[in-house]
Structure 1
Amino acid sequence: MNTIKLNLVKREDLGTSGAKKTRAEGMVPGIFYAKDSEPVAVAAKANELQKVVDEAGTSALVDVNVNGEDHKILFKEIQEHPFKNQLLHFDAYGVNLKEKIKLSIPVVLEGRDDIRVQPSVLLQLLEEVEVECLPTSLPSEGVVNVADMQIGDTLTVADLDVASIADIEVLTDLDEAVCALQEPREESVEDEEEASADAADVPTVGETEASEEEAEEE
């Protein structure tokens, strides 16, 4: 597992005005909190934080230093600007390496571009699964290869790689469907002809007005 590091500095400017000042200095405000500890207002350089977030997401451990102490953290929440490529705030949770944690990790369908049965449609039915383990055993994702799936096949949580790892307990129901492979849905020629016929039966505005005039003359 690659070590991901991030430098955090204690933040003195608090509140909305403090957050704006922090961002103006090229930093992103955040909060570091851990069990049995008081929350600490911190900040990270925007460009460094973006790189770490892109790599770690919310399911990988990150090494940080807070007030001279080294910690392993997980990002619990990351706020992004609604339309700018900009991080606004983050919550960093310090973990105890000796205590198990529960976390949702993303489901990854490996080989989805190499499915041998074509034409076909792959439906992803589950985006993430919940696991429990020690932080040192934390997987970043649950993976299953779909390249050899056949039409009508359904893969479940039990087929994910994390389900067979002894140190990881998967809390999501193992029978829950992860993905399914189906035939492409094709519209029949009859349906298209019926649609054309129905459209032809609908009178145009001119036709409607002409019919009304004929009725009045009679």
Structure 2
Amino acid sequence: MTAIKMQIQKRTESGKNLVKKIRKDNIIPAVVYSRGGETASVSVDSAEFLRVYKSAGSSSLLSLELEGETIPAIIKEIQRHPVKNQILHVDFQKLNMDEKVRMTVPIVLVNRDSIKLQPSILMQLLDQIEIECLPTDIPNGAEVDVENMDFTTPMLVKDLDIANNENITILRELEDVVCTLTQPSINREDEDEETSIPEATEAAPDVIESEE
């Protein structure tokens, strides 16, 4: 897959107050770390990060552009403000292009608004899935087409498109259920009205007077 470019800058500020200051300037403090390597303090323009994150999510390969150096990386963690939902800090993980990486990618149900069997209710049981592959083989997500689903056959992990990619190892049982399609339940009040049977009026017994 093609890596998405993102401009980052070295960060020399340290301390709580200085970090707050750059956040006010719409700059997000971040770090770039790698296994066995040093951690670099960097920053990224808030608008630049949101632009890339909107299209790439946290499962796409990035090319971090830092002072003429290109760093292959993924977004490993995003810290947000608990109330404002503002991004406070980002962790980038530097990748070795010749070394496999484990990561989680989202599961996308294709044509979920075009399911032919109606009325029906689509239940998604798995939202994401862990995989292992080389950085160049990282998918944006794992897809499965649900347009022709029926009530008796759920979609399984083995039905995902990445299950057919020999360069990607799925770290989950292939028989695990991804989603199911069910019939909507009948409204209980309507059901009671339809099935209720008027009570029969019990006839009074004939009284036969005995003759004495």
TM range (shorter): 0.7 to 0.9
Match of 1:78 in 2: 78
Q: Give the 3-state SS of the residue equivalent to 1:112 in structure 2.
A: coil
Match of 1:87 in 2: 87
Match of 2:6 in 1: 6
Q: Give the 3-state SS of the residue equivalent to 2:118 in structure 1.
A: coil
Shift >4 Å, 4+ stretches = 190-193
Post-superposition CA distance 1:76-131 (Å, at most 9, x none): 00122334363211000000000001111111100100000000000001111111
Please tell me whether Structure 1 or Structure 2 has the larger radius of gyration of its CA atoms: 2
Post-superposition CA distance 1:183-217 (Å, at most 9, x none): 00113348767xxxxxxxxxxxxxxxxxxxxxxxx
Task: Please provide the CA RMSD for this pair.
Answer: 1.7
Q: Give the 3-state SS of the residue equivalent to 1:70 in structure 2.
A: strand
The answer to whether 1:174 aligns with 2:149 is no
Question: How much does 1:177 deviate?
Answer: 0.3
- 1:59-70 alignment, distance < 5 Å: 59-66=59-66, 68-70=68-70
The one-letter amino acid of 2:75's match is F
Match of 1:97 in 2: 97
Q: Tell me the matched-pair count.
A: 193
Structure 2 gap ranges (5+) = 194-212
The one-letter amino acid of 1:133's match is C
Identical-residue share of aligned pairs (%) = 37
Match of 1:215 in 2: none
Which has the larger share of helix? 1
The one-letter amino acid of 1:173's match is E
TM-score, normalisation: structure 2 = 0.85
Match of 2:136 in 1: 136
Distance 1:8 1:186, change over 3 A: same
Once structures 1 and 2 are overlaid, which stretch shifts more, 20-29 or 88-97?
20-29
Q: Distance in 2 between matches of 1:33 and 1:151?
A: 47
TM-score, normalisation: structure 1 = 0.83
- 1:44-63 alignment, distance < 5 Å: 44-63=44-63
